Amino acid sequence: MDFHHAISFGVFWTRASTLFALPIVFPRAILTLNMELIDAEISFMQIALEEARAAAAAGEVPIGACIVHDGKILARSGNRTIRDCDPTAHAEIIVIRGAARHLRNYRMPATTLYVTIEPCSMCAGAIVQARIPRLVYGADDPKGGAVRSCFEILTNSALNHQVEVIPSVLAADCASLLQSFFAGRR
């Protein structure tokens, strides 16, 4: 069975040993559900990318975010640090504030935060304080990322809240946007 047929039938192969491979069959319902989740993650990340592009057009570092609850966007924004003269006006902080106002709650259970780059330590701390259960982000930030690159705040067992993290969604698009922005500044 070739790869395309395997996908359509829900059959994947795993290497049980170096001598042979065993097929694993997944029920079609599980595959359909997972594909819907992947489609949603890509759609919401594209919205975060739109916000990042808008931020770049305004002269801001092109980082965008949106926060989602029950499939609906509660808040979306790009960075506003320069426009607002506010070093805390990162896209993540802005959408967390907006979602809190929308929900009328400083805690945000059953939400997902989508952001184009790995959050910094300030934003990771805000994610923990808001009790956001799920983060989806695009590109890693090797110089300041606090999810897995420099620190691991969101999965630190010493904290009272851990976050499910899905990295690298549209990572190439997110990284390319940042790289082209900074290349244009040099």
Whether 36 is a known active-site residue: answer no
Of the residues 36, 92, 118, 164, only one is catalytic, namely 92
Q: What is the 3-state secondary structure (H, E, C) of the chain?
A: CCHHHHHHHCEEEEECCCCCEEEEECCHHHHHHHHHHHHHHHHHHHHHHHHHHHHHHCCCCCCEEEEEECCEEEEEEECCCCCCCCCCCCHHHHHHHHHHHHHCCCCCCCEEEEEEECCCHHHHHHHHHHCCCEEEEEECCCCCCCCCCCCCHHHCCCCCCCCEEECCCCHHHHHHHHHHHHHHHC
What residues are annotated to the active site? 92
